[in-house]
Amino acid sequence: MNKPIGVIDSGVGGLTVVHELMRQLPREKLIYLGDTLRCPYGPRTPEEIRKFTWDMVDFLLTKDIKMLVIACNTATAYTLSELQDKLSIPVVGVIQPGARAAIKSTLNDYVGIIGTEGTVRSNAYCDALNMLKPNMHLTSLACPAFVPMVEQGILSGEFALSTVKKELQALKDFAEMDTLILGCTHYPLLKDVIQEVVGPEVTLISSSEETARETSTILEVNQLLNDGLEISRHQFYTTGDEKQFTSLTRKIFNSSIENLKTVSIERVVI
């Protein structure tokens, strides 16, 4: 079916998932929306996160998407089951896939989770991990400084290193950790710095590969894969500044993206 897949995030973080979707599903057309104007979602109340996510979803529904990927852990934590209940198209989030990938990776069941305040507060990763494999040793840590840094395009260098060191200080006591879930789609953009701080013996998990795999399976099972010959161009939307978005996408994809527009999606200003 030659309809697009909708992908949402609070900002540019979800592009790490887009990157993997493009790799695993090269025949699919993606429509990405980053709510850069209202980013970060992490420190917001559950009600705000729900409302903002619905604003994004309502916008993408006008584009006739055949499936929705919530490429944002914070939005997944607070809206996944509601969206799955209410929408008539398949919806996937990034938390279950991230939890699955971590379980595949850990050898000693000591798994750390870093994410936004909202994601950590929701306990969604611990719940997902415990459901899949009870009695693991888990510790979660919110890293509120990471998302604003990534949105500003600071992905390496002295400032990034010292910020990551400071934020991850509290993980030092969890010395047995062999796997660390990057429970925010912005964090893979800081992967090199995070790896340098936690050391090479810790495996970093980002949900993008597993999420793209799940998306592919769902499309196949529901007979929604693009069966046409034509491969359409992807479309990108931001609620914020186009220039800033473009310069970040250049860093992520190593090339510029075409088809970027600024849109307004707010129904009521909070």
35/8 Cα distance (integer angstroms): 8
Whether residue 184 lies in the annotated active site: yes
Site string for ligand DGL, 102-141 (x = CB under 6 A): --------------x--x----------------------
Taking a C-beta distance cutoff of 8 angstroms, is the pair 208, 188 a contact? Answer: yes
Task: Give the burial class of 192: count Cβ atoms within 10 A of its Cβ; 0-12 exposed, 13-18 middle, 19 or more buried.
Answer: middle
H or E stretch covering 33: strand 30-34
9 is a contact residue toward ligand DGL (CB under 6 A): yes
Taking a C-beta distance cutoff of 8 angstroms, is the pair 207, 97 a contact? Answer: yes
Q: Where are the beta strands (DSSP E) in 143-217?
A: 179-183, 203-205
Selected binder of ligand DGL within 41, 52, 237, 245 (CB under 6 A):
41
Residues 177-206 touching ligand DGL, rule: CB under 6 A, are 184-186
Site string for ligand DGL, 56-95 (x = CB under 6 A): ----------------xxx---------------------
**Nearest distance in Å: CB 94, ligand DGL:** 7
Q: Please, which residue, 140 or 185, has the CB nearer to ligand DGL?
A: 185
3-state secondary structure 165-191: HHHHHHHHHCCCCCEEEEECCCHHHHH
Give the three-class secondary structure for 151. helix
Q: Please, which residue, 221 or 270, has the CB nearer to ligand DGL?
A: 270
Binding site for ligand DGL (CB under 6 A): 9-11, 13, 39-42, 72-74, 116, 119, 147, 184-186
Q: Which residues are catalytic?
A: 72, 184
